[in-house]
């Protein structure tokens, strides 16, 4: 059943990526924009599962681990400057980079991780999903090419809406009411580092995360391949009869 529904999963994943990205553009609230970004990134999980091979499923698992860390970091830093500004409205913020330079650095780092900057876990997970799609010979070359092309559009949209949000929140005209806000304290810095550091570690040494689930994904891939082979043999037998 999974093999038969795999193309549908991939189509749903593509819709997820593009719809979530386009919806993020319409949000003027920081948390809502990040939430829509999460919806978009979960589309890559569907793509990996739909690839029906060890590489694609591994990429889906890595994407869930990676995005769990990145989204947590982004929401945490957002909550940190919300406590100081009492607003999440993007039009009501500006110039926070000078008042909150460390907070800006954390938010920018988590945004770069989310947009799959090379050297961070988001890049490894999404490129693994793409490799899983391209290596699946059960799909036609046209289907694989269209899937990669449309999914890549989502990769282009992600830095646009994330970096534009960073620009509007932390740069631009400085709002006088936000000029005296306080910087992140030691407890918040510790939490922020604990979320961002693993994204860098996984980005440079992805095997640290992959080793946690590789045996399970390989076994699942082998089961799906065996089921496909049995179905193929069954069809041949019926044809001969």
| DSSP state letters, 149-215 | HHHHHHHHHHHHHHHHHHHHHHSSSPPGGGTTPPPP-HHHHHHHHHHHHHHHHHHH-THHHHHHHHH
Using a pLDDT cut of 70, give the percent of the chain over it. Answer: 89
111: Cβ contacts below 8 Å, ≥ 6 apart: 74, 162, 163, 165, 166
pLDDT in tens, 157-195: 999 999 999 998 888 777 766 666 788 888 889 998 999
**Domains in the chain, number:** 1
- What's the DSSP call for residue 90? G
Let me know if 241 is exposed, middle or buried by CB neighbors in 10 A (0-12, 13-18, 19+): exposed
187 domain-assigned: yes
Is residue 13 over pLDDT 80? Answer: yes
Using a pLDDT cut of 90, give the percent of the chain over it. Answer: 39
Q: How far apart are CA 162 and CA 114, in angstroms?
A: 9
Is residue 234 over pLDDT 60? Answer: no
Q: How far apart are CA 52 and CA 194, in angstroms?
A: 33
Domain ranges, residue 52: 2-219
Is residue 4 over pLDDT 80? Answer: no
147 domain-assigned: yes
Helix, strand, coil percent values for the chain (each to nearest 5): 80, 0, 15
For residue 29, list its beta bridge partners. 89
98 domain-assigned: yes
228 domain-assigned: no
233 domain-assigned: no
28 domain-assigned: yes
């Amino acid at each position: 059943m999974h093999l038969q529904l795999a193309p549908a999963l991939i189509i749903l994943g593509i819709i997820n990526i593009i719809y979530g990205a386009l919806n993020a553009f319409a949000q003027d609230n920081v948390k809502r924009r990040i939430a829509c970004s999460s919806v978009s990134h979960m589309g890559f999980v569907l793509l990996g599962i739909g690839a029906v091979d060890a590489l694609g499923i591994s990429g889906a698992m890595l994407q869930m681990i990676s995005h769990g860390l990145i989204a947590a970091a982004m929401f945490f830093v957002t909550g940190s400057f919300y406590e100081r500004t009492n607003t999440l409205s993007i039009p009501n913020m500006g110039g926070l980079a000078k008042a909150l330079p460390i907070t800006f650095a954390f938010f920018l780092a988590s945004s770069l991780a989310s947009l799959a900057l090379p050297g961070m876990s988001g890049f490894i997970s999404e490129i693994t999903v793409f490799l899983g799609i391209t290596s699946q010979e059960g799909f036609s070359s046209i289907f694989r090419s269209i899937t990669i092309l449309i999914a890549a559009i989502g990769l282009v949209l992600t830095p646009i809406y994330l970096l534009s949000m960073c620009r509007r929140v932390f740069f631009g005209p400085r709002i006088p009411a936000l000029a005296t806000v306080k910087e992140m304290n030691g407890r918040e810095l510790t939490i922020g580092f604990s979320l961002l550091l693993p994204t860098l570690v996984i980005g440079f040494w992805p095997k640290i995360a992959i080793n946690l689930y590789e045996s399970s994904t390989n076994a699942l891939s082998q089961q799906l391949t065996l089921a496909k082979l049995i179905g193929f043999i069954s069809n041949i037998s019926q044809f001969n009869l």
